[in-house]
Structure 1
Amino acid sequence: MPSKFPVNESHLNEELTRLRVEFEALRIANAALEQQLSIDAKQADSMLRVLEIRSNELKEANLHQLNQSNFIRRVMDSTGAMMIVLGPDGHIRQVNRRCAQELTGTDSIPDNRVLDDWLHPDERQALVAQAIGLPWPVFSPLFEVVRRSGSYAAEHRLGSRDGSYRHYWFEASLQHNPQGKEEGAVICASDITRLKQQQERLSRSEKRLKEAQKIARLGHWEMDLTCDKLTWSEEVCIIFELDSASIPRNYADFLELVYPADRAAVDRAFTSALSTHGSYDIEHRLLAAGGQIKWIHERCVIYYDDAGRALRLVGTIQDITEQRLAEEQLRLAASVFDNSLNGILITDANTRIVKVNRMFSEVMGYSSDEVLGQKPSLLKSEHHDKQFYRSLWAALERDGKWQGEIWDRRKNGELIPLWQNISSVRDAIGRVTHYISVFYDLTQQKQSAKHIYHLAYYDALTELPNRQLFNERCEHALERANRDYHPLAVLFLDLDRFKHVNDSLGHPAGDELLRMVAHAIKSSLRQDDTVARLGGDEFIILLENTGSRSDVEQVARKIIAYLSRPFIVQGHKLEIGTSIGISCYPEDGKDTMSLIKHADLAMYRAKEKGRGNFQFYETYLTTRAKERLFLESELRDALERQEFHLHYQPQFALSGGELIGAEALLRWNHHEHGLIAPDKFIPIAEESGLIVAIGEWVLSAACSQAKAWLDAGYAFKQVAVNLSGAQIERSDILATVGNVLATTGLPPQHLELEITETYIMRQAKQNVRIMEELRALGVSLAIDDFGTGQSSLSYLKRLPVDKLKIDRSFVMDIPQDSNDMAITRAILALGHSLKLTVLAEGVETAEQAAFLNELKCDEVQGYYYSRPLDAESFRKLLAKQKFDADLFD
């Protein structure tokens, strides 16, 4: 059937041709593909054969590695140490079985653990401190320490599974691959706990040995004879009191420490032991440090070689000083027993006499053989009744001792009074083992009873009643006066100028004078009156039935007249006199203490009135005494309240008028009563001892002010500060002055210390030494109030002083008093002859200044030139430096 569409044959042919070409191309491609597949099949077959070979080789290598790993594991598990393999970051890769069992109690270690987890906290913290600051993450500080050192060896403690810590010795080394890359580290940890425990036991044993040696004071030593070298234990150093560097190193040095008298004996013992192949044992003395002598017990053994040559000596030294002293004490006790001045009798528990001493035999007349085994009833005198002995034994049983007076009978039958002390001696469980009786003969004491009474109630020097007997007699007199309405009076006497006698002629002359005064007073009184010596130069009189006041005055005048007469003592004509205070009963007091106190106050009033007179007590004297107590009380708080301040008395060179310095003067501005005169409070401060603290404040304040003036550029020679005798006697004045100079910074050459002549001569030898030590500090010294004491020229020339200060009492009456002028002239001549500077105090008139200038006096101070100034006014004066020269012409 014909096609509906016309066929284009040319187009069909083109299409067939194209199909043939594609078919041919496919055929060629298929042939090529078959060829390539054939080649690939051959290559695949070859590759499979190679892979099979490689697989077999890998299996063999893995098997070898497994065998090697198992071998390493068996080796690691067989070792007694812990083996730990660390990775490159410090984590544990592998451990042996011992390590796992020790640390965890299992056969393995959990992943991501580091060995540091088991380290003791102290050691872990120390390792962490070393790893701080590393620029990479740190998992194991221990590994970082190993990495830094390359190889590592140290002791560490690791926690065990039971919670305890054991000691291990770590040896670690880094591991690298063949290319040198760090792969981690291997640690071998050996358990050394037992070794450490042994070391600790050994250390404890050595410590106990040292303690035992120390307790026994025993040291050991060794001497190498081949080189004459000595070695010593620590305890020997202690015994010798030398440090290890000073201990002798050879035999000759050791002999130098032996007490000189014992060296020959020690050397003989040493050489004899060497020659006889023996040992030696000797006690001898030792010269320890500081010259102290000790006793030591020395023992030694000698060791020899096979040829019999001595090689070394080993010995001990023991300090037996206390043992020797104990033995000496025992010998001394035995000597005391035998030579005691008391009789001693010892019995056993059955009161059988077991021992007596020599004095027992002398007192009782029995020899030792005659009384041993006897009972003390052998001595019974029948003087005491049975009750006496029952009380004695009751006291012994109750108190273990009895003492009292007892009468016994000597061998010759004489009765003898004894003062006896009986004691019972008990053993550790309280049983009585012995009785000890110690006694002495009371015969002499009973014969001396009256003398003892006399000593108790009478003054040994004057034979007058003492204070105690006076008080008793006064009490009885007051009872009679109160009962019978009779008046009585108490007179309190104090000798005038008595101290001058003691200081100038000595105490023997003073004692003789007191005896003569006592006789004179007693001679001026009635038989029934009582005169007593209270002590020193103080006497007190009790007048009974005195009648009127005029009768008492008559007695006082009579006594004053008697004591105004000269006394001839050791060829010296002495005039002393007395001051008397009087109190009367009942108006001035109704008891002994009040009457004595009020008479004493009246006596001080008499002294103030010019001495050589008497004064009756008046009520205002008590007020004055209270005022004195008030001032003493206020003085104690004045320093704390800062009520003290200083004024400065300018001192000038007389020749040219230059201001050379000032004397520091203490002033007290009381917060309620205003300025209080120095002559009121300074004596109270000295008597109470408060002058020590006050004087230290004055010294410190004056030095501080002087340093401030120097720092401000003002030139002056020195500031003078008075030292009270009480300051020197009651304080460490050297330390005080040194501390003040150091604290204030004042150069010592700008400080002058003034010490009164009277105090210097009180204890001249001792005070010269103190002054020399003060002078050594660099300060200058001046004798204050010169001329008012009694200086010995032999001491004066030895005194380390720079200046004499003429007392104002010699200057104030110039030119009216020729004696004062002569004394001043003599002091200036004496001072200049001794190369001393002389300063006159209290210059107040032109005539006095002219007289002193004529005599070439070096320095002056007084109102004529300037009154005392406060610190600011004195500073202004320093700025001027001198006064009008006319004052000094």
Structure 2
Amino acid sequence: MANLDSNNFRKLEDFAEIASDWFWESDAEHRMSYLSGRIESVLKIKIADIMGASRAKLPGVLSSSGLWKAHFADLEARRPFKNFEYSFIRPTDNQELWLRVSGKPIFDAAGTFKGYRGIGHDVTEERETVQRLIASNAALAERNKEMSEVRRELERRVNEDSLTGLLNRRAFERDTQEALGVAGNVIVLLHIDLDRFKWVNDTLGHPAGDIVLKTAADRLRRIASGIGPVYRMGGDEFLIVLADNAEIETARWMADAILDVMEKPIAVDRQVTSVSASIGIASGISGKTSLQQLVADADIALYEAKKTGRGCTRELTPEMLGLIAARRKLASEISAAIRNDEVIPFFQPQIHDDTNMIIGAEALARWQHPELGLLDPDAFLDVAAEVGVVADIDRCMMHKALYFVDRAKGVGLYLKSVSINLSTGRLRDPNLVDDVRECWLNRDCQLKFELLETISFDELLREPVVIENLKHLRAMGVQIEADDFGSGHASITSLLEVRPDRIKIDRHLVQAAINDPVQRKVVSAILEIARALEIEALAEGVETKTDVAILRDLGCELFQGFVYAKPMPAGAFLDYLRDQQAAYQTQTADPKGLPKSA
């Protein structure tokens, strides 16, 4: 070994025997002149077989890669090199190894080049670990990217309508309240309602209705571009807000443009339909007009437009304010209506699609008004909230729904569960638990409370009475459902806090997911979250078997919607249960018509 005295050479030999690396030397022709014993255990070859050969020409070395070109340049220039890596095919098992070598040129006292001396190391495992880490990081990055997209979509939905892409009610309240906070600001509100939309829904179906809504949204967006934001409030109702000291003439021009464009035909599948629009206009001044008053004034103007004959615009006038009297009349009547049993439950079944069995029903409030006929909740719940009787309606629905369950049991019909909507006021009611205990007598039927979409879980969960009520209800066996999940009111954080037994995926999100792959990912993510938290998930608002099939592919099994049955009064639902039970008994009967034994 050149340029080492015998003492230093022995020290190097001794160290080489215990080192995990190996030492090497080459001569001036780059031929191996020394290799420590460690290399034999790594390469599984005899040192004697490779002494005198250059590294690039050792058996098993692949020296054709571009890395060797730079290495040869270092050797020719007699420069030190560090961490040069190359592959080696081990002859005993054909395994590819990766070796790392570093070297320093040797010169004698006269400056004559004598060769190289250096160290080598097997880095195969290290490289494999790095490759695995790279692959793992790449997979993690891809997963993070997917989750980021889903998270952005969920965050976007907080202020965006899932069907049309317009801003939603929550965004409207936020933006308009902010505009009303600017001193002296004039705000003009256009309330647009589509005429004949119910006819489209009833005759052509909800998918056609969705096409009409999206087309209407696009038309409104184009007209209002650069002037004011457009909001979808739900159903076929839209709002346009003109702020920053808006002028009524601008609103009038926009209204005329909207009336014209809404009359144009809309292609639905292979046919053409059309709708028109009715528009109510109201204005307010910050400091003098509240958000609630501005909306109420626009509602009054819209009502007048519809009453006049639809397809027209009306601005709020003093005469229209007389309509407030009618609203007040409803407010004065609703308490008596509750006492007189005019507020009644309608029932809509909930189905497990695998078995086609009824797993329960939701009880929905209706007002059988002696003069106005059957009123949906949209017609009276706001009034009920104003006079503070929503909790009374909740209590009434619970009593009547549970009475129906007892009535059904008395005639041999079994309902597995009944879901009842629960408002903020009812959740705060200190008598809620006692009331449930007194009237929930038939424990064979599971009682479920649906927390409405307008409830702010984050705020309510800070109230002791709400926390106590939920705790005691669960202890009694009452189950909690989060209604309209995905509509933007319930956050993931509140879901973790409440930990409901079931979430009901919002109808509009369900319908959007049918045709939109991105929205489908959102529904899939919600279902994945539900499974991770061991929470049941039910899709509401399913209209067709195609809807059901798509959602089943995403992992949903529980459904509620028109594809199975519309909401129906107690008598009709009793007949429905009887028919379903008879059909089930027929399916499970033996050929002689007798029920099969277990």
Normalised to the residue count of structure 1, the TM-score between the two structures is: 0.33
Larger Rg, first or second structure (1 or 2): 1
Normalised to the residue count of structure 2, the TM-score between the two structures is: 0.47
Q: Which has the higher contact order (CA 8 A, sep 6+)?
A: 2
